[in-house]
Structure 1
Amino acid sequence: MSDYDYDLFTIGAGSGGVRASRVAAAHGAKVAVAEEYRVGGTCVIRGCVPKKLLVYGSHFAEELQDAAHYGWTVAGMSFDWATLRDTVLRDVDRLNAAYTQTLENNGVERFLERATITGPHSVRLASGREITAKVILVAVGAWPVLPEFPGVEHCITSNEVFHLPELPRRVLIQGAGYIAMEFAGIFNALGSQVTVVNRSDQILRGYDESLRDRLLQITMARGIEYKFNCPITEVVRQDDGSFLVTAGRKDPVAVDTVLIATGRKPNTAGLGLENAGIVPGEKGEIPVDEHSRTTCPSIYAVGDVTDRVQLTPVAIREGQAFADTVFGNMPRTVDYTCIPSAVFSQPPLAGVGLTEGQARNRHGNVKVFTSDFRPMKNVFAGRMERGLYKLVVDANTDRVLGVHLIGPEAPEILQAAAIAVKAGLTKVDFDATVALHPSMAEELVLMK
């Protein structure tokens, strides 16, 4: 008989926690998981999945406008926010049930309440029950950061934006990262007047500069207004329910919704880490080694709570590696190089590997190949927006160090290109590949 109630107790049933729990159970461990809200985590419940569905919904505004060029007559067009919102939320319900079923099918016991750490091998549920476990896994993810200024209580974050009672006529978004740019595109396409304010003078730090510049130009042409070096200093609620927002030294702006998208921080507050001798980092993150083990040998952590790479597929890989290592006798680590990422802005952009700036800093001698083109669909519809594809190549070895794309379906195209970059293929390998015509993706193998 074990000295503990469970072999593994997981705190948090998001992507990383669910993967780790079910794989550990498949390896024969007795597993339980605690989740204080809903099974599925940020991505499924209040993040990338419902947001991508909103992106799809907003695309119809452009598609319906372009339909006439393809012979379609669409009369009486109108949009109902409540229909889209409720359809998205129903799909969230479906996914919550699917993730729950996955745990159930694998024999993982579930506690739908908050759990906190009380020691190296113990947790306490919100109901007061004490539980012991040989190993504890923390997979509680991250939470939106709210800056401090008068009236911040009137603002919403990406957690609440999916539940808006109606489509706001005027939206102000603070931040210029991927969350901010994606929601700016959604609201702009749906007809809202969108203003983006940011404390710095650039958007999407970390992405290739050429793509960032192109996205800025296109979104400004689409009607999104930007105010740089202008963090919000005050939000005042008006008698009619609207808000007067002061940002930087600019004149106040009247809006209906203020969305804060200034980043996310590890969700470790009140978790009880101190009871196991674990000291969080400056951002609240849990320090771990290459096997996701904390400074307490019986406690591990995966996903956004470690602040290594805040991406769902990374959390899943970390959860898999943890379970295989600790319960499957198959030690694994996660390779964090060449991780592809995308921004589902409008148009979307995606990248993998080194940006041009990063490549020049690390390798010095690099070659850059670009294709600046007008997608066929845009030509036929009379839209002037241009796509931009970019290959960053090591001039000494001919190895492709990075691929960066902006244009329709860029994320879908990049996934295959990411395999090539990860495999260390060269520009000659790209050139030797026959083009798939007519497609936008063919530009990847036609650059000279």
Structure 2
Amino acid sequence: MPDHEFDLFVIGAGSGGVRAARVSAAHGAKVALAEEFRVGGTCVIRGCVPKKLLVYGAHFAEDLKDAKRFGWQVPDCAFDWKTLRDNVLGEVDRLEGLYQSTLDTHDVATLRQRATLVGPNEVELSDGTRHTARIILLATGATPAVPSFPGAEHGITSNEVFHLEEVPKRIVIAGGGYIANEFAGIFNELGSRVTIINRTGDILRHYDESVRDRLLQISVKKGIDFRFHAPFEKVVKGPNGSLTVHTAGQDPIETDCLLFATGRRPNSGGLGLETLGVKIDPNGAIRVDEDSRTTVPSIFAVGDVTDRVQLTPVAIREGHAFADTQFGGNPRRIDYASIPSAVFSHPPIAAVGLTEAQAKEQFGSVKVYTSDFRPMKNVLANRDERALYKMVCDALTDRVLGLHMIGPDAPEILQAAAVAVKAGLTKAQFDDTVALHPTMSEELVLLK
């Protein structure tokens, strides 16, 4: 085995890369990490963390209105976008500092440059410097996908949305996935006129049909406009800066901001992978085996760049398992079954396991239990907004195959319930658990 400058060279300082670097170093490996932008990756810098903080900020619009029904004499409140924006960006800066401190504490050499591969064990930085490593780990994440059509350059993505100078009076959001629906809820609460356009006829197609239909109904009632089967034709920018969005078969839409939330593509381009024989799928995903190894034995990949499951906790687990396997003497692989997920819409969605359609396809006979109720807080607030909980079970064994929820705090409630689904518990075991009253979560043990 030839000598190398490092045991591990990581490209990309997102959640998966930082975890892999830190744990590998803790196992005694000599580790370097290259990052061309900021330490922390999409989740910390321009993804789930700042977005969740915007969700919290936006929710005060409803909370302040509801407070009057609870006896609080709330005056008309003005909202200052720049205060929220700058405080959120300040928190991002703080978290980036913590991530960098963690790397420094574990003696990981952080190189703030772009790195590309020039050999199976060699990388080149943007300044021309080259380094060798026994193992190279690609953790370059994913980037927003932007459709190609005339005028697309006038739109923004989730990368730029956190830096807007003001809340747009009108915003068009392209896409039907979780990013589109989350930002639709945020901007609607902050006073924007929101229109979602989607080239298909569905939103949140990976979620159970019942909960996504409920979100659509509630969103429409809140004033969000949806236009389906509306592929882009062109966008024209007017002399005053406003945009006119033209879609097939629909009337043009005048807007102040166009936000693309049309999916994310793996960041595999321009790394020099093809010349080394690293296999890349047509969508840009780096092909890996169960140990995150690519088709080149010394090169590995974790996180969104592999497009297995584009979720931060999954990338973290993949990075940790890689480090334990390669440097810790503890070979581990990730179990991708029953991964919980959430959409931080207004109200939020949470799910784990199989949808009703998936369960029927895999198991044939299933039993479905639901609770369709109006949360106590919504009743007193005079808010006509109903929650929906749904449990999908194997009809033969009574095992819970999936849980799907939409309603206040659904993601907070589901995390604990996901343990039960992962453990293979049955509906009877849920029923045998005494309800915690009065809570929304008690509905999980009272489903009929």
Asked whether 1:30 is paired with 2:18, we answer no
Structure 2 residue runs without a partner (length 5+): none
CA contact (8 A) 1:5 1:131 kept: yes
CA contact (8 A) 1:120 1:275 kept: no
Q: Distance in 1 between matches of 2:248 and 2:342?
A: 30
Please give the residue correspondences for 1:150-165 in structure 2 after superposition, counting only pairs within 5 Å.
150-165=150-165
CA-CA distance at 1:279 after TM superposition = 2.4
CA contact (8 A) 1:117 1:275 kept: no
Which residue pairs with 1:433 in the alignment? 433
Which residue pairs with 2:212 in the alignment? 212
Q: Distance in 1 between matches of 2:356 and 2:339?
A: 16
Q: Distance in 1 between matches of 2:231 and 2:52?
A: 27
Q: Which amino acid is 1:70 matched to?
A: F
Q: Distance in 2 between matches of 1:276 and 1:314?
A: 27
Which residue pairs with 1:298 in the alignment? 298
Which residue pairs with 2:186 in the alignment? 186
What's the secondary structure of 1:167's corresponding residue?
coil
Asked whether 1:319 is paired with 2:294, we answer no
Which residue pairs with 2:66 in the alignment? 66
CA contact (8 A) 1:121 1:133 kept: yes
CA contact (8 A) 2:6 2:134 kept: yes
CA-CA distance at 1:247 after TM superposition = 1.5
CA contact (8 A) 2:141 2:266 kept: yes
Q: Distance in 1 between matches of 2:357 and 2:317?
A: 28
Structure 1 residue runs without a partner (length 5+): none
CA-CA distance at 1:252 after TM superposition = 1.0
Q: Distance in 2 between matches of 1:274 and 1:240?
A: 45
Please give the residue correspondences for 1:348-387 in structure 2 after superposition, counting only pairs within 5 Å.
348-387=348-387
Please give the residue correspondences for 1:93-242 in structure 2 after superposition, counting only pairs within 5 Å.
93-242=93-242
CA-CA distance at 1:276 after TM superposition = 2.2
What's the secondary structure of 2:157's corresponding residue?
coil
CA-CA distance at 1:19 after TM superposition = 0.3
Which residue pairs with 1:85 in the alignment? 85
Which residue pairs with 1:10 in the alignment? 10
Which residue pairs with 2:330 in the alignment? 330
- Report the aligned-residue RMSD: 0.9
Q: Distance in 2 between matches of 1:242 and 1:364?
A: 52
Which residue pairs with 1:289 in the alignment? 289
Please give the residue correspondences for 1:406-425 in structure 2 after superposition, counting only pairs within 5 Å.
406-425=406-425
CA contact (8 A) 2:279 2:294 kept: no
What's the secondary structure of 2:282's corresponding residue?
coil
Q: Which amino acid is 2:439 matched to?
A: S
CA-CA distance at 1:444 after TM superposition = 0.2
What's the secondary structure of 1:397's corresponding residue?
coil
What's the secondary structure of 2:429's corresponding residue?
helix
Q: Which amino acid is 2:118 matched to?
A: T
CA-CA distance at 1:174 after TM superposition = 0.6
Q: So what's the TM-score if we normalise by structure 2?
A: 0.99
CA contact (8 A) 1:389 1:405 kept: yes
Which ranges of 4 or more aligned residues in structure 1 deviate by more than 6 Å?
Answer: none
CA contact (8 A) 1:175 1:196 kept: yes
Which residue pairs with 2:243 in the alignment? 243
CA contact (8 A) 1:174 1:232 kept: no
Q: Distance in 1 between matches of 2:124 and 2:156?
A: 31
Residues 145-174 of structure 1: CA deviation (Å, up to 9, x unaligned): 010111000000000000001100000011
CA-CA distance at 1:267 after TM superposition = 0.4
CA-CA distance at 1:248 after TM superposition = 1.7
What's the secondary structure of 1:182's corresponding residue?
helix
CA-CA distance at 1:379 after TM superposition = 0.1
CA contact (8 A) 1:197 1:232 kept: no
Asked whether 1:45 is paired with 2:40, we answer no
CA-CA distance at 1:2 after TM superposition = 6.9
Asked whether 1:272 is paired with 2:272, we answer yes
What's the secondary structure of 1:149's corresponding residue?
coil
Residues 68-101 of structure 1: CA deviation (Å, up to 9, x unaligned): 1111112240001111111100000001101000
Asked whether 1:21 is paired with 2:14, we answer no
Q: Distance in 1 between matches of 2:286 and 2:61?
A: 43
CA-CA distance at 1:53 after TM superposition = 0.3
